Structure 1
Amino acid sequence: MARAQRFPEPEDSVADNKRGNTMTTNSEFKAWRVEEKDGEYQGSEQTLSTADLPEGEVLIRVTHSSLNYKDALSASGNKGVTRSFPHTPGIDAAGEVVESATGEPAVGSRVIVTGYDLGMNTDGGFGEYIRVPAAWCVPMPSGWDARTAMIYGTAGLTAGLCVGKLLKMGASPEQGKVAVSGASGAVGSVAIELLANLGFDVVAISGKADHADSLKDLGASEVVGRDALAEEKKPLLKPVFANAVDTVGGTPLAELLKQVQPGGSVSCCGLVAGPQLSTTVLPFILRGVNLLGVDSVEIPLPDKQAVWEKFAGEWKCPKTEASARDIGRAELDEALKAFLKGASAGKIVLDHSR
């Protein structure tokens, strides 16, 4: 067997490869890999070969990834996310194309890959290389680098989609306060800054009292505890919020629906508090409340690209970008366990060069 070697930088790739012919080099790379041992799931840095990657049209040299709750579930052995192990998590990845069987995206181009099956049952961004279908790749917006893209990642994409749906339903600052549940999390924090930048009066709902100042720095005018969404027997409560972004699901979402003003909307994108929704139809038929489901995984590529372009332009969130924390692969285990404990906050970027 030929000795494995590192890929050349994309700019050094041969002309034939730029036209779409694939390379046959077998290259080693580092990845944070999860294995099952005696019924327990453990992650560690391992050396892999590109020959081990799944088949696909595009090989990408990943420089940055982003940490998400779904990554933590995968790393913990959740079979609803990842069916078989060993496995490399990482539902987000950004980097440069080094092989392209179709010629589009072209070798040397910078791309973002989020969602679809990446990091679930297809080896993901916690490795230095991924191989994926061309249809999963979004061109990097002008002015962005891979790190900036991964500051937003799936969480930012989801926040943007949530806010976009509210705007599509006619939400405006004049209507009143907008609530954001799970405000300290990656999705919630981006949603707060984006809504505040758009002129909305944002109420952050968080179980982390020590994060109140940072949430106000992002633009929240008020921070309340999660007891604001504690379970109540009444089917309807006093309408407090004009609209809302819910990132947690479960009982908090049911209680939030009871507190939305007539004609208001709630974008729903998470399930950290549980996938069940126990409610009545009264918020919908007596107040005309709209419950808007948000999918950031399987949506068409142009929809993802539209949100990325907005974040690179008029939706830019400079405070989120400035506060993001970078880690290396050696720090992944601790960071992912913090997600499962509900102790993670803000945006965390995996830098493969650390």
Structure 2
Amino acid sequence: MTQTYRAFVVRKEDDATQLGYEEHHVPEPQDGEVVVRIAWSCVNYKDGLATLPKGGVVRAWPRVPGVDMSGVVAASRDDRFREGDQVVCTGFDFGVNHDGGFAELCCVPGDWLFHRPDGLSLRDCMTFGTAGFTAALAVQQMERNGLAPDNGEVLVTGASGGVGSMAVAMLAKLGYRVAAATGKTDAATFLTGLGAESILSREEVSAEPRPIGKARWAGAVDQVGGRILAWTLSTMAYRGVCASTGLTGGPGLQSTVFPFILRGVSLLGIDSVMCPMAERGPLWTRMAGELRPSDLGSITTEIGFDDLQASLATILKGGVTGRTVVRVAGD
């Protein structure tokens, strides 16, 4: 193994951050740790926030961001993993309070790793990444709370983003009728290609919500929060199920109790970061099977390791459609 590796590093000075590539020394794993040579990573909105001085993600600098990675074990002091094993890491403190996946190598607790699921390549795993896992978790939790294809239409907000596009594709694959809401006027063809039956504009779903509106949605996956989540809740059908997965539109929520006490609506909080490892394996197996989008490649744009800074700036501006995978050393 070489003695150094390249890493994309965020440093904070006063009220500003500086981004750049640095050479780091290869660490020696301690008991329970695994060194992984990273093949692929991906770009998430959270990774963009990690580059901002007040993004609310990173609390200690310098930091290597990147909340997802897939690669090959280079050294291990965890009996569950051996040199040459193909592994994946998403969530926990990876890329937040622990150096993450925007590097050629990482050293992580074995408790954060799982073996690459059968049926998915290392690149496929990063096409899903945290976004795909979050979407799958939302679908699973909605189903556990009564959602079924015969119940009616399912709304996905922020549909052209990572979580949204994955949710549209997964729900359509399962036979749901999907309505996709997006602020990107040029995303309609992309979303109908994923299986959406109808497209709503951002203006439609961000209208001033009534205390209780016309009942429309049997289910909803909301990646936006704020006023759009309030409007979505007010338009849920009787015993509808809404999964809250993100806050790209802001963390606030001004709603009323009427959707809950008059229509029996359920609002489900979806957290993929600290999801117990025992639950991850079965869901990733499902992602490799019935939840796998029919054309996974159509959701994906690939960039090189040296293209990270531009891609992170773009995702913060809302300029990314679908998923962006990062070729670190992947074949």
Which residue is equivalent to 1:149?
125
- After superposition, give the CA deviation of every residue in 1:245-288 in whole Å (9 maximum; x if it has no partner): 11111111011000000101001110111111111111000000
TM-score by length of 1: 0.89
AA paired with 1:258? Answer: S
* 1:162 paired to 2:134: no
Instruction: From 63, 80, 94, give the equivalent of 2:70.
Output: 94
Which residue is equivalent to 2:5?
29
Mapped to 2, the partners of 1:208 and 1:332 lie a distance apart of 23
Instruction: From 39, 44, 53, give the equivalent of 1:63.
Output: 39
State the shift of 1:137 in Å.
0.6
- After superposition, give the CA deviation of every residue in 1:145-181 in whole Å (9 maximum; x if it has no partner): 2111000000000000011111111212211110000
* 1:256 paired to 2:232: yes
* 1:140 paired to 2:116: yes
Cα distance 1:165–1:29, how it changes in 2: closer, same or farther (>3 A)?
same
* 1:105 paired to 2:55: no
- After superposition, give the CA deviation of every residue in 1:209-238 in whole Å (9 maximum; x if it has no partner): 111111000000001101122242520110
**Residue ranges of structure 1 left out of the alignment (5+ in a row):** 7-26
* 1:174 paired to 2:174: no
Q: Secondary structure at the match of 1:51?
A: coil
- Does the 8 A contact of 1:60 with 1:95 survive in 2? yes
Instruction: From 106, 126, 133, give the equivalent of 1:130.
Output: 106
State the shift of 1:92 in Å.
0.2
Q: Secondary structure at the match of 2:186?
A: helix
Cα RMSD (Å): 1.7
Larger-gyration structure (1/2): 1
Higher strand share: 2
Q: Secondary structure at the match of 1:318?
A: coil
State the shift of 1:187 in Å.
0.4
- Does the 8 A contact of 1:190 with 1:320 survive in 2? no
- After superposition, give the CA deviation of every residue in 1:11-70 in whole Å (9 maximum; x if it has no partner): xxxxxxxxxxxxxxxx21111111224632122222111239999611111110111011
- Does the 8 A contact of 2:5 with 2:26 survive in 1? yes
Which residue is equivalent to 1:15?
none
TM-score by length of 2: 0.95
Q: Secondary structure at the match of 1:217?
A: helix
- Does the 8 A contact of 1:72 with 1:336 survive in 2? yes
AA paired with 1:201? Answer: R
* 1:196 paired to 2:169: no
* 1:225 paired to 2:184: no
* 1:43 paired to 2:24: no
AA paired with 1:289? Answer: V
AA paired with 1:311? Answer: M
State the shift of 1:78 in Å.
3.2
Q: Secondary structure at the match of 1:335?
A: helix
Mapped to 2, the partners of 1:39 and 1:135 lie a distance apart of 34
State the shift of 1:321 in Å.
2.9
AA paired with 1:153? Answer: G
- Does the 8 A contact of 1:55 with 1:132 survive in 2? no
AA paired with 2:211? Answer: P
Worse-superposed segment, 129-138 or 29-38: 29-38
AA paired with 2:172? Answer: A
AA paired with 1:248? Answer: V
- Does the 8 A contact of 2:32 with 2:78 survive in 1? no
